[in-house]
Amino acid sequence: MVVGTLYLVATPIGNLEDITLRALRVLKEVDLVAAEDTRHSRKLFNHFGITTPLTSFFQHNEAAKGERLIELLRQGKSVALISDAGTPAISDPGYLLVCRCREEELPLTAIPGPSAVVTALSLSGLPVARFAFDGFLPAKSGARREVFAGLDSECQRTVAFYEAPHRLLAALQDLRSELGDDRQIAVARELTKMHEELFRGTVAAALEHFGQNRVRGEIVLMVAPTVVAPPQETVREAILRLQADTDLSRREVVKQVARQFGLSGSEVYKESLDLDEEMEGKNG
């Protein structure tokens, strides 16, 4: 029995030129495209001359429509899933459909591409060797403050959230109430669009900046770790310390030091070999 494949296709978050060649090919070749908002996606289709049929697939019809799509896949039809912008199932519809495909052992694959949270983090200038994405912030102040309060004690990584533009100032006020004026944050707005903006600074500075005018566009709010301090030792000192104080293998030493300094394993491994050569030269 031949079954169809579900394709999770990432689409541009703003600039239409950010779509991949593979995404365009798949959207043209599949039998059906399930879109979060067919009116929005029609603009993308018209721009690139895509004539594949569209069907709506959004939060409130995901369960029922998902079963119809599963049946089409069983019949051998290929289906692409897209959201209004970015990668499907990442704070967008798609999770339930992916789960159903896994349950039914139906083939699925992803066509990678734009993601607002990854784009924002890369531009933020905040520490991103370790980060977390917590999706959309709660709409109510009490729930938001509870989320932010949790960051104060356990946040050892940058944490990113999606937020609606009309709630940004309220979210920043809640953030100030829980973490203070001086916490470092970044706010990305209108990514890849004409009026793209990346603000970085303290919570107090952000409130002053965004309080000047009406906030527009999609928002990614990023909160820096509790303490952003430079390492107190060099890479070489860390390698020597672990070699002297532990029984860890070279591989484990390299892994720990790479994590500590936010470096690649290959960089730290080369440094450890250089140290070995220096020690051999001294002993020789």
Q: Quick one: residue 3, left, alpha or beta (phi over 0 = left, psi -120 to 50 = alpha)?
A: beta
- Looking at the fold, whether 125 and 83 belong to one and the same domain comes out as no
Given 114, 143, 176, the domain boundary residue is 114
Domain-embedded: residue 228: no
Distance CA 184, CA 172 (A): 12
**CATH (domain of 33):** 3.40.1010.10
- Looking at the fold, whether 10 and 102 belong to one and the same domain comes out as yes
pLDDT of residue 80: 98
pLDDT of residue 228: 47
pLDDT band at residue 2 using 50, 70 and 90 as cut-offs: confident
pLDDT of residue 153: 61
Buried (b) or exposed (e) across 151-179, using 16+ Cβ within 10 A?
beeebebbbbbbbeeebbebbbebbbebb
Least-confidence region, from 55-64, 189-198, 253-262: 253-262
The residue range of the domain holding 15 is 6-114
pLDDT of residue 5: 97
Given 70, 86, 114, the domain boundary residue is 114
- Looking at the fold, whether 50 and 141 belong to one and the same domain comes out as no
Percent residues over pLDDT 70 in the chain: 95
Average of pLDDT values for 67-71? 96
Residues in the chain: 284
- Looking at the fold, whether 125 and 219 belong to one and the same domain comes out as yes
pLDDT of residue 102: 96
- Looking at the fold, whether 128 and 108 belong to one and the same domain comes out as no
**CATH (domain of 140):** 3.30.950.10
For residue 130, the 8-state DSSP code is S
Given 223, 254, 271, the domain boundary residue is 223
Domain-embedded: residue 229: no
- Looking at the fold, whether 110 and 131 belong to one and the same domain comes out as no
- How does pLDDT run across 79-104, given as a tens digit for each residue? 999 999 999 999 899 999 999 999 99
DSSP letter for each residue of 205-254: HHHHHHTSS---S-EEEEE--S-----SS-HHHHHHHHHHH----HHHHH
pLDDT band at residue 275 using 50, 70 and 90 as cut-offs: confident
- How does pLDDT run across 207-247, given as a tens digit for each residue? 999 998 899 999 999 999 886 455 578 889 989 999 888 88
Domain-embedded: residue 70: yes
Average pLDDT over the chain, rounded to whole? Answer: 92
Average of pLDDT values for 194-198? 94
Average of pLDDT values for 240-257? 90
Domain-embedded: residue 230: no
- Looking at the fold, whether 123 and 80 belong to one and the same domain comes out as no
Percent residues over pLDDT 90 in the chain: 75
- Looking at the fold, whether 16 and 67 belong to one and the same domain comes out as yes
- Looking at the fold, whether 51 and 10 belong to one and the same domain comes out as yes
| Structural domains counted in the chain | 3
- Looking at the fold, whether 13 and 110 belong to one and the same domain comes out as yes
Domain-embedded: residue 159: yes
For residue 195, the 8-state DSSP code is T
- How does pLDDT run across 115-153, given as a tens digit for each residue? 999 999 999 999 998 899 999 999 999 999 999 998 876
